[in-house]
Amino acid sequence: MRRSFFSVLVAGLAALASPVRAADAPPVKIGAVLSLTGGAATLGDPALKTLQLYVDKLNGQGGLLGRKLELVAYDDGTEPAKANGFAKRLIDDDKVDVFIGGSTTGSTMAMWPAAEKADMPFISLGGGLVIVDPVKKGLFKVSHNDRMIAEKALMDMQKRGIKAIGLISETSGYGQSGRKETLALAPKYGVEVVVDETYASKDTDVTAQLTKVKANPKAEAIFVFGFGQGAMIVTKNIAQIGLKLPHYEATGSASEDYIKLTGAASEGVRLPSPAMLVATQLPDADPQKKVSVEYTTDFAERYKSDASTFGAYARDAFFLWVDAVKRAGSFDKEKVRDALEHTKGLVGTCGVINMSPQDHLGLDISAFKMVEVKNGAWTLSQ
């Protein structure tokens, strides 16, 4: 009797101790609200593909903590009001365990009230400083924010002895917050903004605004803060009117498409970029090299096209979460949130991430690389 009881006990304990087979436990859901259509479609589309890529990959390797992952993604059409609605759907209806997304700052901030109420760990892909400043308990971000973009560019300008610039910013959230940061930081680097113009992302011609820069004798360089198609048109117009000043762009133009569609006009353009764009040129000792090269290879293998920085942010967000889950040993929202906050030394394509309760970005500006278009290709610049 005792023996059989004992053996039952042992069998029971053994059963408890063995990991739950993936087929038995329900999948862990990752909720993603991305801009797959609308003005920010170039941000959301690679992000979705990247998330799908790595969810599938991890599932193929047996899942996370023995459970399969499932990606639930919605398109907010670059409309924060829709993002707000989908946030609630993800929380209440789909019952996800984490939010990755908000391709834009607007969408992120629209989703935040609902996420906050639900104590949902939320890793944003948006670029605005406001996402992490002031720090919000469950909200984290992975990409360098607009202040850092401005700072990196201004540092480079200072290094090259540039004292006055013309600033052309896009009327989108990205452009306007970038403009605000640039205007605030410029004096610190001894730079004066002598021309301050804007353009809309769908403009077909911005030579009127650029002419003002050209006509201003004090301007020694031009800084364009925008992304995608709009920035490409600005670049082409700069070449068209023969504006031969040093030309800086924002990280929004850090893509292969930018060079492809602007052609010779982009030669010599400098911008701050995540290392991913020049992954193969990094010295082997640079920790970002391995993950960046891996990412571009993985992406190209599955999607047969170039990876973009926006997809890279999604990759970093995904692995940030995976790392936190592993350290927390569970998917519990509170534990994962705490683990996220204590991320240390995690290497992402954007840099080495070291979070803290006061810093929910965890990147410093050194991870940002200054790159230049040389002979029609992105090259690492010192």
Partner 1 sequence: MLLQFVFSGCTLGAAYILAALGFSMIYNASGVINLAQGEFIMIGGMSAAALSALGIALPMAIVAGVVIAALIGAAVERLAIAPTRKADTTSIIIITISVSMVLRGLTEIILGKENHSLPPFSGDQPIDFQGASILPQSLWVFALSAIIVVALAFFFGKTRFGKSMLATSHNRLAAQLVGVDVRKVMMSSFALSAAIGAVGGVALAPITTVAYDTGVMLGLKGFVAATLGGLGSGLGAVFGGLFLGLCEAFTAGYISSSYKDAVPFVLVFLVLTLRPQGIFGVKSADRV
Partner 2 sequence: MSQLVSSTDIREWSGAPRMKGLTALGAVILLLPLVLPNAFYYDVVIRIAVNAIIAIGLNLLIGYTGQISLGHAGFLGIGAYGSAILTSRYGISSLPALCVTAAAVALLAWIVARPILRLKGHSLAMATLGLGIIVSIVLTNEAQLTGGPDGLSVDGFAIGRVAISGEKNWYWIFSAVLFLSVVLAQNLIDSPAGRAIQALHGSEIAASVVGVDVKSYKTSIFVLSAVFTSIVGSLYGHYSGFINPGVANFATSVELVTIVVVGGMASIWGSVIGAVLLGVLPQLLAGHEGWDTVIFGLVLGLSIIFMPRGIVPTLQGWFRERAR
Q: Compute the least distance from the CB of residue 57 to partner 2, in Å.
A: 20
* Shortest Å, Cβ 216 to partner 2: 22
The one among 70, 94, 116, 197 contacting partner 1 by CB under 8 A: 197
Does position 74 interact with partner 1 (CB under 8 A)? The reply is no
For residue 86, the partner it binds in partner 1, partner 2, none, with Cβ less than 5 to 8 A by kind, is partner 2
Q: How far apart are CA 159 and CA 181, in angstroms?
A: 19
- Which of partner 1, partner 2, none does residue 93 bind (CB under 5 to 8 Å by kind)? partner 2
- Site for partner 1 contains 208 (CB under 8 A): yes
Q: Please return the burial class of 306, using the count of CB atoms within 10 Å of its CB with bins 0-12, 13-18 and 19+.
A: middle
Counting contacts by CB under 8 A, is residue 300 touching partner 1?
Answer: no
Q: Which is nearer to partner 2, 117 or 260 (CB)?
A: 117
Beta carbons of 334 and 277 less than 8 angstroms apart: no
SS3 of 226, please? coil
**C-beta of 197 vs 332, nearer to partner 1:** 197
Q: How far apart are CA 72 and CA 153, in angstroms?
A: 37
Per-residue x/- track, 93-132, partner 1 (CB under 8 A): ----------------------------------------
Whole-angstrom distance, CA of residue 132 vs CA of residue 105: 11
Q: Per CB under 8 A, does 149 bind partner 1?
A: no
Check binding of 229 to partner 1 (CB under 8 A).
yes
Q: Considering the rule CB under 8 A, would residue 215 count as an interface residue with partner 1?
A: yes
Identified binder of partner 1 from the candidate list 45, 75, 79, 323, rule CB under 8 A = 45
> DSSP E strands: which ranges in the chain?
28-34, 69-75, 98-100, 122-124, 139-141, 164-170, 192-199, 221-225, 247-249, 270-273, 346-348, 351-353, 369-374, 377-380
Distance, first Cα to last Cα, the chain: 78
Smallest gap from residue 245 Cβ to partner 1 (A): 16
Least spacing, CB of residue 215 vs partner 2, in Å = 24
In angstroms, the CA 87 to CA 92 distance is 9
Considering the rule CB under 8 A, would residue 261 count as an interface residue with partner 1?
Answer: yes
By CB under 8 A, name the one of 52, 59, 158, 207 that touches partner 1.
207
Distance of alpha carbon 197 from the chain centroid: 26
Token pair recorded at residue 302: 């599955």
Q: Whole-angstrom Cα distance, residue 253 to residue 240? A: 19
Among 25, 37, 85, 322, binds partner 1 (CB under 8 A): 37
Site residues (vs partner 2, CB under 8 A): 36-37, 48, 72-75, 79-82, 84-86, 88-89, 91-93, 104-106, 109-110, 112-113, 128, 130, 171-173, 176-177, 180
Q: Residue 97 CB, nearest distance to partner 2 (Å)? A: 16
Q: Choose between 176 and 207: whose C-beta lies nearer to partner 2.
A: 176
The window from 88-96, 123-131, 203-211, 312-320 that contacts partner 1 (CB under 8 A) reads: 203-211
**241 binds, options partner 2, partner 1, none, Cβ within 5 to 8 A by partner type:** partner 1
* Pick from 13, 47, 18: nearest CA to 310: 47
Cβ–Cβ under 8 Å, residues 170 and 225? yes
- Interacting residue with partner 1 among 22, 25, 41, 135 (CB under 8 A): 41
Beta-carbon contacts of 252 under 8 Å, excluding residues fewer than 6 positions away, are: 174, 225, 226, 227, 228, 231
Helix (H, G, I), strand (E, B) or coil at 77: coil
Q: What is the residue type of 349?
A: T
Residue placing its CB nearer to partner 2 in the complex, 102 or 351:
102
CA distance 263 to 167: 22
3 state DSSP class of 9: helix
* Residues in contact with partner 1 by the rule CB under 8 A: 37-38, 41-42, 45, 171, 197-200, 202, 204-209, 211-212, 215, 228-229, 232-233, 236, 239-242, 257, 261, 263
